[in-house]
Amino acid sequence: MARIAVDRENRLLTAEFEGLDKLWAVKSRLEIPLAHVRGATHDPGMAREPKGIRVAGTHFPGVVTAGRFRRGGERFFWSVRNPEKAVVIELADDESYDRLVIEVDDPRATVALIENALTR
């Protein structure tokens, strides 16, 4: 699971991975400028879509998907064990990833936090 935070002053979105998720994803933190964030949705169905080719990380179907993946020219970062808590964050072309698919504690509140930050 990850904690998502928005720093309005520095215009930065941060995803901080907790516990074993750091190990599975081979990353402990992502920082994305808010200018590169297009939007966020709560999308449990995303976990059923093909993951593509794993570049780095872990993939045990039905257990955990974490790390960097490529599919059809798109670059994804995954950190999901429970698909019901998956949030998809769409990023701009000049970012390292096209989409982040991240499990959070409260998907609706996380989407609202991100969308609210983008409208200000």
Q: Give per-residue pLDDT as tens, 21-77.
A: 888 888 999 999 999 999 999 999 998 899 999 999 999 998 999 999 999 999 999
pTM of structure: 0.93
Sheet containing 2-7, strands listed edge to edge, beginning at the edge strand earlier in sequence: 2-7, 12-17, 29-33
pLDDT band at 93 (very low <50, low <70, confident <90, very high): confident
- Domain total in the chain: 1
Please tell me which residue, 79 or 120, carries the higher pLDDT value.
79
| CA nearest to 103, candidates 50, 75, 70, 63 | 63
Which pLDDT belongs to residue 34?
95
| Residue 104, both tokens | 């959070």
> Dihedral of the CA atoms 77, 81, 83, 85 (nearest 10)?
-90
| Residue 93, both tokens | 């072309």
CATH number for the domain spanning 107: value is 2.30.29
Which pLDDT belongs to residue 95?
87
Enclosing domain of residue 104: 2-118
Which pLDDT belongs to residue 94?
79
| HSE-CB for 86 with a 13 A CA cutoff | 23
